[in-house]
Amino acid sequence: MIKFIEEIERAGILNLRGKSISFRHGSFLDYFGAYYIWDNREKFTNLEDFIVQIYFDDFWEDVAFFYIGLQRKIDPSLVIKLLDYPKENLKTYADKFLIGRLLQAGWYSTANTLSEGIQKAIIYAPVIREELAKLLEKSEKPYPKILLDLPVMVLSDHSFGSRILFREERELFNTLADKRSSSYQNAYMMLSLLCAFERFLSKEDIQNSITKILGALDEFRGHNIEETTEILTLLTIIGEENEKLANTLKRRLRNIFKMHPEMHKRILGAPKRKRFRKKSHSPPS
């Protein structure tokens, strides 16, 4: 047994300090904790409630992820309990948005479970952005509005950027695009989904997806020019490899900046001014 422990230490898994033993990386602790729960799952009286409790705990949340991975599926009832978790704050909204990670871990779940989980989790994309805006409003310094969107897109990629979820995500994307009464929330959810699965699309499919978001934008463009400009800016980044599409998006942005000069500063921040150095004239020798 001692030899086995020493081999594990040499492999970089354990730290042995006197009588204390610890894992060198927290993921080992999370996995073995999840394995203990999975191996003793019949002994828990309210297992789903326990999984919900640890998922929303900063220290134990990855244990829930590994547990679902060991199960290879996630039950619809657990998804509902996670999304119905009562606390309302930025951290909780982000955790609910990241339920896509649990759906990925539960790759053997039914298509309906994956679809409903994505549909209910993606709703938190505009919610998180709004909460970030409230947080940054407390700052005395002005900030470019694009800073609100980048964290949301990163979280979306982390939560939904998987081939396991790709089919259900694309179906949801098309459903949102086909809604007659479009809204900023719908367009923002579509944008978040596109950021997650665009790596799996051909250039033609990316162009078609961006065109659908532009169609949703046209439904409410006159209502809030700032929101429209933000989404257009992010679409320009996504479509930059398609020169023709990128030029079309940039042209729309230039027209907005021409009609609303203040938008450039509000969305992207004030442009840096070039500083010119004065030429030094050396005295004649």
Show which of 97, 121, 145 is a domain's final residue.
Answer: 121
- Establish if 277 belongs to a structural domain: no
Report the distance separating Cα 87 and Cα 177, nearest Å: 31
72 & 92 share domain = yes
Residues 254, 174, single domain; the answer is yes
Of 82, 99, 121, the position where a domain reaches its end is 121
The answer to whether residues 253 and 177 belong to one domain is: yes
Give the model's pLDDT for residue 255: 93
Whats the size of the chain, residue-wise?
A: 285
The per-residue pLDDT for range 67-94, each reduced to its tens digit, is 999 999 999 999 999 999 999 999 999 9
- Residue 103 located in a structural domain: yes
What does the CA dihedral 61, 67, 72, 75 come to, rounded to 10 degrees?
-70
Q: Does residue 16 belong to any structural domain of this protein?
A: no
Domain span at residue 35 reads 26-121
Read off the pLDDT of residues 162-183 as tens digits, 9 standing for 90 and up.
Answer: 999 999 999 999 999 988 666 8
Please give the structure tokens belonging to residue 16: 């042995």
Does one domain contain both 160 and 218?
A: yes
Q: What is the mean pLDDT of residues 218-239?
A: 83
- The CA distance from 237 to 161, in Å, is 17
Percent of the chain with pLDDT over 70: 91
Tell whether 150 and 69 lie within a shared domain: no
Residues 233 and 100 in one domain: no
Q: Are residues 97 and 154 in the same domain?
A: no
pTM: 0.87
For residue range 110-149, list pLDDT tens digits in order. Answer: 999 999 999 999 999 999 999 999 998 887 788 899 999 9
Is 264 found in the same domain as 137? yes
The whole-number average pLDDT for the span 89-118 is: 97
Let me know if residue 154 belongs to a domain: yes
The pLDDT of residue 273: 56
The count of structural domains within the chain is: 2
Instruction: Looking at the structure, tell me whether residues 110 and 157 fall in a common domain.
Output: no
Domain boundary among 121, 137, 164: 121
Kindly report the number of other CB atoms within 10 A of residue 34's CB atom. Answer: 23
94, 107: one domain? yes
Query: Is 209:173 a contact under the CB 8 Å cutoff?
Result: yes
The pLDDT of residue 44:
94
Q: Indicate if 96 and 134 belong to the same structural domain.
A: no
Residue 274 lies in a domain: no
Q: Give the β-pairing of 20-23 and 14-17.
A: antiparallel
Q: Is residue 176 located within the same domain as residue 110?
A: no
Model pLDDT, residue 22 = 76
**Cβ atoms of residues 74 and 105 within 8 Å:** yes
Check: CB of residue 233 under 8 Å from CB of residue 253.
yes
